[in-house]
Amino acid sequence: MREISLGMLLLLFFCGWNFRAQSATPEKDQPSGLTINFLAHAGQVSLNGYPVNTSLYQANALSENFQFPEMAQKQPFFGWIVNSSQNNTLQTAYQVLVASSLENIRNDLGDCWDSGKTITDQSVNIIYSGKILKAGSAYFWKVKTWDNHGAASPFSIVSQFKTAAILVDYATARYPLQKQDISPLTIKTISPALSFIDFGKAAFGRIRLTLMGKAEHDTILIHLGEAQKAGRINRNPGGTIRYSVYKLVLLRGWNTYTIVISKDKRNTGPQAILMPDYIGEITPFRYCELEGYEGTLGETQIVQETVFYPFDETDSYFSSSDTVLNQVWELCKYSIKATSFTGVYVDGDRERIPYEADAYINQLGHYGVAREYSMARYSQEYLIRRPTWPIEWILQSVLMAWNDYLYTGNKLSLEHFYTDLKAKTLLSLADNSGFISTRTGKVTPEVLKSIHFNGTLKDIVDWPQTGILGLGKNEPGETDGFVFQNVNSVVNAYHFRALELMGKIALVLGESVDEKLFVAQAQKLKTSFNEKLLDKKRGVYLDGIGTDHASLHGNMFPLAFGLSPEKHTEKISQFVQSRGMACSVYGSQFLLDAVYDSNNADYGLALLTSTSDRSWYNMIRVGSTISLEAWDNKYKPNQDWNHAWGAVPANIIPRKLMGIEPLEPGFRKIRIKPQPASLEHAEIKYPTIRGDVFVSFQNKPNQSFKLNITIPANTTSDVYLPFWSKSQKVTQNGSAVSFRKTGNYVVVEGIGSGSNVFEVTK
């Protein structure tokens, strides 16, 4: 063990105290929200999952099992939030200082990098351009900005980061997993030797108990479970809903015990994401029963030791006049936090394996509830090299890569994985009409190698399907009777979207030849798709070439991905609405995208607030506090109760109902297009990489609509308001404002940062 003198300890203590004191209170208009490689708390040190008061530069001198983020990238990238008390503020310049010591950074000495006053409005994704960073070293940085009002900010608080032992050209930084102790919500005595404990919410973790042993070898049983029945833990919940029991032999006197969770063969297999040693094995549970313990129990004696990827609950909020919608939001927001327990997006507890479809929905949901981008990027990149079997899932890698760029404005991942992403479009499977298929002999070993897959590609459409994983032959599954053909509409709708986005990626990266190729191929497929799969008489898309069956899936995916001609959109939308929620919780992502993108807000709100057995409210009603894998046990008998792909409203509410989406990468420009339907009022705080967006409205349909928005400095927005009639009045901050009309909206363009109030009256 390394010895430390008293003098060194005192020095470390006072340096740490002074560092934290300097970091405590931001000054007016000081840059805030500093990030390095997307991490806002790169200097946070943890001990076995719990954040501690030790700074990075102190941690090297202490012998503890510390965890902290490490920057493995030779040239990391910086970002910050520009702050201003004035509206319409844009950054005009910045100065970044990076120092090798706390003393230097406090003295405004960037001995590693002093960018000088750099004229630019860029406040995110600033590439380090100083001296070569040393491996395994702590660094300090801060930034100041200038704006278009002629104001110079103070320097930001000082932020820390540590480099990894080996530095490479590109690597995604990650946080270590974090723990949080939760006290019981209620403790109920069932009998003198039986207590029922409810922690209020299910979480992944383990139980810690402080108990009195009265005699040597007293033995008690600890029951843990996700579901309850008649005021007790359901010990036979079915499916993959968790229940477990552990025996504990008590020592005499007061002692604190941690219950070691038994490993599950399936979710600790070769493909599963394993828990790190500093966390240990965990299980999802909400309830605990102590059987055989006759002592009194206080809430401090029983702890639910939860595990998650660092998450700030204050990053977002949502509230509306609809109480069901509010409950759905809280369920889905919490689901994003609770299911982050491996640090990679996984399918749930049954397998703990990353799948593209889960990750796609998880990614958008995470963006909707937290200012956090590292877990999404790492998961997406993990799946590029470890894809799963459905052909649609392969194509989703391109969609995730584009989302990553659109929400962060950072193209480093696109550059690093560009060749892989091109292969993931599956363009090599296309026929002369532009259609792709897994059944026409084009899936060669070379194709599989290019996408890093060693197996058999299959169409999936939706999940589960009849007769697969828990469903018998008489149970219909979630594909709405989709008729599989050699050329299928769903697969090719995905292929079109991947081609379209790959063209945009190529443009971003300056790959002009590829851009033209992907744009042309997308247009060819769109033409063929509408010629051969659109039944113009019925106004519906068919499931594939060779069948006249039309399903919800065969229509919602083309609608969501922009394939349908404008003159046919209304009929296709009507058909989609006629099918109801005839899809899985996964499929609901694309159903709701299609519904809101077709401006059918009434139907969208009806789906979000439904109380049928195929609804998010049903997940709450059956007793879960994390979104389910399926709408109900009867639709997937082997389902689990902790699947983030069931948390679709975490992104649909901010993106579509409240209408907040990036128009330009990294939220440089924001679209605010609320679709309130009959909601009387709603408000949201939505985190972006450039700062928080606040939107609220008061709505009297066809009478008046009042919209309050606040957007961060260094951004602009286009604001969409309802169009009812030519005689309506539109004002901004009480004064008439010019606008353009598009469909059932009027658009006020180029709104600057700060707060604005828009009103529409007849």
Q: What pLDDT, on a 0 to 100 scale, did the predictor assign at position 472?
A: 62
Region for residue 551 given its phi and psi (left: phi exceeds 0; alpha: psi -120 to 50; beta: otherwise): beta
Sign of CA dihedral 319, 322, 325, 326: positive
Residues 362, 348 contacting (CB under 8 angstroms): no
Interval 535-562: pLDDT, tens: 999 999 999 999 999 999 999 999 999 9
Region for residue 163 given its phi and psi (left: phi exceeds 0; alpha: psi -120 to 50; beta: otherwise): beta
- Rounded distance between C-alpha atoms, residue 665 and residue 140, angstroms: 28
**If you average pLDDT over every residue of the chain, what do you get?**
95
Interval 496-508: pLDDT, tens: 999 999 999 999 9
Longest dimension (CA), the chain: 86
Query: Does 440 map to a domain?
Result: yes
Q: What pLDDT, on a 0 to 100 scale, did the predictor assign at position 588?
A: 98
* pLDDT over threshold 70, residue 700: yes
Query: In the block, which residue shows the tokens 């689990």?
Result: 640
Answer yes or no: do 450 and 378 share one domain. Answer: yes
* pLDDT over threshold 50, residue 17: no
Residues whose CB falls within 8 Å of the CB of residue 540, separated by 6 or more in sequence, listed in order: 534, 550, 554, 555, 571, 572, 575
* pLDDT over threshold 80, residue 27: no
Q: What pLDDT, on a 0 to 100 scale, did the predictor assign at position 3?
A: 36
Q: What pLDDT, on a 0 to 100 scale, did the predictor assign at position 476?
A: 78
Q: The domain that contains 233 carries what CATH number?
A: 2.60.120.260
- 534: tokens are 């659109």
Query: Does 163 map to a domain?
Result: yes
Residues 435, 449 contacting (CB under 8 angstroms): no
Using the 3D structure, point to which of 657, 675, 707 is the last residue of a domain: 657
729-732 and 540-541 as β-strands: parallel, antiparallel, unpaired? unpaired
- 239: tokens are 């499916």
- 5: tokens are 């003198």
Query: Does 1 map to a domain?
Result: no
71-73 and 159-168 as β-strands: parallel, antiparallel, unpaired? parallel
Domain of 256 in residue numbering reads as 178-308
* pLDDT over threshold 70, residue 122: yes
Q: What pLDDT, on a 0 to 100 scale, did the predictor assign at position 217?
A: 79
- Rounded distance between C-alpha atoms, residue 502 and residue 429, angstroms: 16
Among 214-223, 309-318, 615-624, the range scoring the smallest mean pLDDT is 214-223
Query: Does 736 map to a domain?
Result: yes
DSSP three-state, residue 707: strand
DSSP three-state, residue 538: coil
Interval 303-319: pLDDT, tens: 999 999 999 999 999 99
Number of domains comprising the chain: 4
611-636 core/surface letters (b: 16 or more CB in 10 A; e: else): eeebbbbbbbeebbbbbbbbbbbebb
Q: The domain that contains 402 carries what CATH number?
A: 1.50.10.10
Find residue 288's DSSP bridge partners. 197, 224
Beta carbons within 10 angstroms of residue 238's beta carbon: 12
Answer yes or no: do 651 and 678 share one domain. Answer: no
Answer yes or no: do 441 and 496 share one domain. Answer: yes
Answer yes or no: do 164 and 182 share one domain. Answer: no
Query: Does 76 map to a domain?
Result: yes
- Strand blocks (E) in 86-137: 91-99, 113-114, 118-119, 126-127
Q: What is the DSSP letter of 69?
A: -
Answer yes or no: do 373 and 502 share one domain. Answer: yes
Mean pLDDT (whole number) for 239-267? 96
Q: What pLDDT, on a 0 to 100 scale, did the predictor assign at position 14?
A: 37
Answer yes or no: do 304 and 317 share one domain. Answer: no
Mean pLDDT (whole number) for 133-139? 97
Answer yes or no: do 74 and 113 share one domain. Answer: yes
Interval 35-76: pLDDT, tens: 999 999 999 999 999 999 998 988 877 889 999 999 999 999
Phi, psi of 114 (to 5 degrees): -125, 105
Q: Which helix (H) or strand (E) holds 181?
A: strand 178-182
* pLDDT over threshold 70, residue 11: no
Answer yes or no: do 710 and 605 share one domain. Answer: no
- Rounded distance between C-alpha atoms, residue 444 and residue 430, angstroms: 13
Q: What pLDDT, on a 0 to 100 scale, did the predictor assign at position 264?
A: 96
Q: Above pLDDT 70, what percent of the chain?
A: 96
Q: Which helix (H) or strand (E) holds 376?
A: helix 374-385
Answer yes or no: do 300 and 349 share one domain. Answer: no
Query: Does 173 map to a domain?
Result: no
- Rounded distance between C-alpha atoms, residue 244 and residue 633, angstroms: 19
Answer yes or no: do 729 and 628 share one domain. Answer: no
- Rounded distance between C-alpha atoms, residue 371 and residue 377, angstroms: 13
* pLDDT over threshold 50, residue 5: no
Q: What is the pTM of this model?
A: 0.95
Query: Does 28 map to a domain?
Result: yes
State the first-to-last Cα distance of the chain, in angstroms, to the nearest integer. Answer: 77
Answer yes or no: do 375 and 506 share one domain. Answer: yes
- 372: tokens are 């956090």
Q: What is the DSSP letter of 12?
A: H
- Residue ranges in 42-128 assigned as alpha helix (H): 56-59, 102-106
Beta carbons within 10 angstroms of residue 266's beta carbon: 14
Query: Does 694 map to a domain?
Result: yes
Q: What pLDDT, on a 0 to 100 scale, did the predictor assign at position 745?
A: 97
Using the 3D structure, point to which of 109, 138, 168 is the last residue of a domain: 168
What's the number of CA atoms in the CB half-sphere (13 Å) around residue 588? 28
Confidence of residue 233 (pLDDT cuts 50, 70, 90): very high
Using the 3D structure, point to which of 640, 657, 674 is the last residue of a domain: 657
- 377: tokens are 């990027």
Confidence of residue 21 (pLDDT cuts 50, 70, 90): very low
Answer yes or no: do 120 and 192 share one domain. Answer: no
